[in-house]
Chain A
Amino acid sequence: MSDLESRLDQIVPEPQFSPRANRGPLMISMKNVSKRYVANKAALENVNVEVAAGEFVFIVGHSGSGKSTFIRMLLREVQPSSGQIIVAGHDLSRLKNSKVPYLRRNIGCVFQDFKLLPNKTAFENVAFALQVIGKSKHVINTQVPEVLRLVGLEGKIHNYPHELSGGEQQRVSVARAFVNRPPLLLCDEPTGNLDPQTSLGIMKLLERINRTGTTTLIATHDQEMVNYMRQRVIALDEGQLVRDQDRGVYGNVD
């Protein structure tokens, strides 16, 4: 694809969606992306999505609709069978394996199962993320308490995960995802293990983070939450993108 063509592709919106001009630079661009784990069944089929910097987007769908594959592709844990994915200016199919860590430093991740280390305190869990990318002690000691205060855990900095409630654990995990101030935050079922009240708190936290300018993508099947938040909704069904709606609702994805 020539340079001109690729630029045109970015300017001309895909016909099947409402025009998204005036949204600022693109954070995510997926073009004709398909993924097949087995030959005859597609996990994702010809998906075209653009997400501008600073957007808050829900990805909804049943289990097996391709939400997780969608998220994992953005992290380049999974490579598409065909199509092009550009995340934060990186063309993922051209990204060398050795450069993947640097892509991931620009992406925060939150998961349903928190993925906290049980033998480390809240502080140490967040610090670990900075430690392993070579940040200095000074940076760690200033940034970690700050981000833990931001997520509302200032009183529980030195508690271990088993001493925290589910919601608090998820806050630690959000803090870890956000401590490096990534331009993109990906959440895979962040409220899947939490009760509605706690879920709402987490959603509000994610929204607050989004307002600092962080592009936020949330894969979820939490119908209530999606309807409540009134944000952009991308619906997947059997690997197909069936709906892409501003200020949308969960709706019937059957």
Chain B
Amino acid sequence: MSINLGYFISEAAISFKRNWVMTFGGIATIFLSLLLMGSALLMNSLVNDMVGDIESRINIQVWIHDDAEYVDIEGLQVALEGHENVATVHLVDKDEALERFTYMTQESPQIVEQLQDNPLPRSLEIELIDTQEIDGVLSLIRGSEEFPLIADPPSDPERALAYGQGIVETLLGATQTARYAGIALVGILAVVSLIFINNTIRLAIYARRNELSIMRLVGASNGFIRAPFILEGILQALVGAILAILVLLAIKSFVFPGLQETLAFITFNFTNALMTEIALILLASGVVIGTLGAIIAMRRYLKI
């Protein structure tokens, strides 16, 4: 069928030239929807990385009342060190707390200068082995005899505990909303590109109606008649997909390195494997949209 393949490709190319405005529209919408889809996939991986990163950094802090007895603090510290899910327990004394605070506020040193004495409390910093199993450690702290004695404020010991309550949930909730919006947008654009491709193929069918009626009369098989149109749809989609992939690669190589400098706390880690995966997803989606658009057009306008 080597002759046929050449025939199909030249037919698709001719139609490409003939209806270039519609073709351009089809390519542009496919490009946009695939670009959005690709960005959404990139963002998704970014958010997953971030969440993982934040989760791994979660630790527990126990604020300690200034009047607390050192024995009680040490008692709790020893008990915690005995727990299987605790990596380290570090007692931050008032000086270290002030040192950290000074570092954190170094941009406006007057804050520290205005302090009369050191108001910062001591604290126990507990690093966990598995952040998912944080509850066991929390209940150990809450159940210990020392905790109510050293907690700051003593009236409400629960407020002395800090372990990033809800940070992960809030983060996930926010990104989830963004993700749904993204999916909806990509869906709408996919429909628009379907309509565009459908229209271009319809015009192509109309432009070739005489040829098609002769092809039918002399007994060209249905597959033979349809093939150039499907090919045209796929070709448009592929061009759109390749453009989208190129733009994503450009964003990856030129925009993110700059962002990385400004947003140092986020690690942008786009591996080649991830980019390849996204590229393949975009190409596949493009082919699906192109084929579908062509098939819909042929069902409606090509009576075989």
What is A's interface to B at a CB cutoff of 8 Å?
75, 97-98, 101-107, 109, 115, 117, 128-129, 131-134, 136-137, 176, 180
Whether A137 pairs with B220 at a CB distance below 8 angstroms is no
- Given A101-B222, A117-B210, A128-B211, 20 further pairs, Cβ under 8 A: A97-B304, A98-B221, A101-B220, A101-B221, A104-B216, A104-B217, A104-B219, A105-B218, A105-B219, A109-B217, A109-B218, A115-B210, A128-B218, A132-B215, A132-B224, A133-B219, A133-B220, A133-B221, A137-B3, A180-B218
When C-beta atoms are compared, the residue in chain A nearest to B4 turns out to be A134
| A119 CA / B215 CA spacing, docked (Å) | 15
Q: Is B163 an interface residue (CB 8 A)?
A: no
When C-beta atoms are compared, the residue in chain A nearest to B213 turns out to be A115
Q: Give the contacting residue for A133; candidates B213, B218, B304; CB below 8 A.
A: B218
Q: Is B104 an interface residue (CB 8 A)?
A: no
Whether A132 pairs with B1 at a CB distance below 8 angstroms is no
| A103 CA / B213 CA spacing, docked (Å) | 16
8 nearest CB pairs, A to B: A104-B219, A105-B219, A132-B220, A129-B218, A101-B219, A101-B221, A132-B215, A109-B217
Q: Hey, which chain B residues are within 8 Å of A132, CB to CB? A: 215, 218, 220, 224-225
| A103 CA / B220 CA spacing, docked (Å) | 10
Q: Is B214 an interface residue (CB 8 A)?
A: yes
Q: How far is the CB of A168 from chain B (nearest CB, A)?
A: 18
Q: Is B301 an interface residue (CB 8 A)?
A: no
Q: Hey, which chain A residues are within 8 Å of B101, CB to CB? A: none
Q: How far is the CB of A88 from chain B (nearest CB, A)?
A: 12
Whether B1 pairs with A134 at a CB distance below 8 angstroms is yes
Q: How far is the CB of B158 from chain A (nearest CB, A)?
A: 74
What would be 18 A-B contacts, judged by CB atoms less than 8 Å apart? A98-B222, A101-B216, A101-B221, A102-B219, A103-B219, A104-B216, A106-B219, A109-B218, A115-B213, A117-B210, A117-B211, A128-B214, A131-B7, A132-B224, A132-B225, A133-B221, A136-B3, A180-B218
Of listed A75, A129, A132, residue having the most chain B CB within 10 A: A132
Q: How far is the CB of A214 from chain B (nearest CB, A)?
A: 15
When C-beta atoms are compared, the residue in chain A nearest to B224 turns out to be A132
Whether A117 pairs with B220 at a CB distance below 8 angstroms is no
Whether B218 pairs with A104 at a CB distance below 8 angstroms is yes
| A133 CA / B223 CA spacing, docked (Å) | 11
Q: Hey, which chain A residues are within 8 Å of B221, CB to CB? A: 98, 101-102, 133
When C-beta atoms are compared, the residue in chain A nearest to B7 turns out to be A131
Q: Hey, which chain A residues are within 8 Å of B304, CB to CB? A: 97
When C-beta atoms are compared, the residue in chain B nearest to A129 turns out to be B218
| A128 CA / B220 CA spacing, docked (Å) | 10
Q: Hey, which chain B residues are within 8 Å of A129, CB to CB? A: 214, 218
Q: How far is the CB of A230 from chain B (nearest CB, A)?
A: 30
Q: Hey, which chain B residues are within 8 Å of A134, CB to CB? A: 1, 3-4, 224
| A98 CA / B214 CA spacing, docked (Å) | 17
Q: How far is the CB of A235 from chain B (nearest CB, A)?
A: 26
When C-beta atoms are compared, the residue in chain B nearest to A128 turns out to be B214
Q: Hey, which chain A residues are within 8 Å of B224, CB to CB? A: 132-134
Q: Hey, which chain B residues are within 8 Å of A97, CB to CB? A: 222, 304
| A98 CA / B221 CA spacing, docked (Å) | 8
Q: Mark B209-252, 1 if CB is under 8 A from A, else 0.
A: 01101111111111011000000000000000000000000000
Q: How far is the CB of B224 from chain A (nearest CB, A)?
A: 6
| A75 CA / B222 CA spacing, docked (Å) | 15
When C-beta atoms are compared, the residue in chain B nearest to A108 turns out to be B218
Q: How far is the CB of A240 from chain B (nearest CB, A)?
A: 28
Q: How far is the CB of B72 from chain A (nearest CB, A)?
A: 87
Q: Hey, which chain B residues are within 8 Å of A117, CB to CB? A: 210-211, 214
Q: How far is the CB of A32 from chain B (nearest CB, A)?
A: 27
Within 8 A of A (CB), among B1-43: 1, 3-4, 7
| A109 CA / B216 CA spacing, docked (Å) | 11
Q: How far is the CB of A123 from chain B (nearest CB, A)?
A: 15
Q: Hey, which chain B residues are within 8 Å of A176, CB to CB? A: 218
| A137 CA / B219 CA spacing, docked (Å) | 18
Q: How far is the CB of A74 from chain B (nearest CB, A)?
A: 12
Within 8 A of A (CB), among B175-216: 210-211, 213-216
Q: Mark B40-78, 1 if CB is under 8 A from A, else 0.
A: 000000000000000000000000000000000000000
Within 8 A of A (CB), among B139-179: none
| A233 CA / B216 CA spacing, docked (Å) | 29
Whether B214 pairs with A115 at a CB distance below 8 angstroms is yes
Q: How far is the CB of B18 from chain A (nearest CB, A)?
A: 12
Of listed B7, B216, B219, residue having the most chain A CB within 10 A: B219
Q: Hey, which chain B residues are within 8 Å of A101, CB to CB? A: 216, 219-222
| A211 CA / B304 CA spacing, docked (Å) | 33
| A102 CA / B108 CA spacing, docked (Å) | 87
| A169 CA / B275 CA spacing, docked (Å) | 58
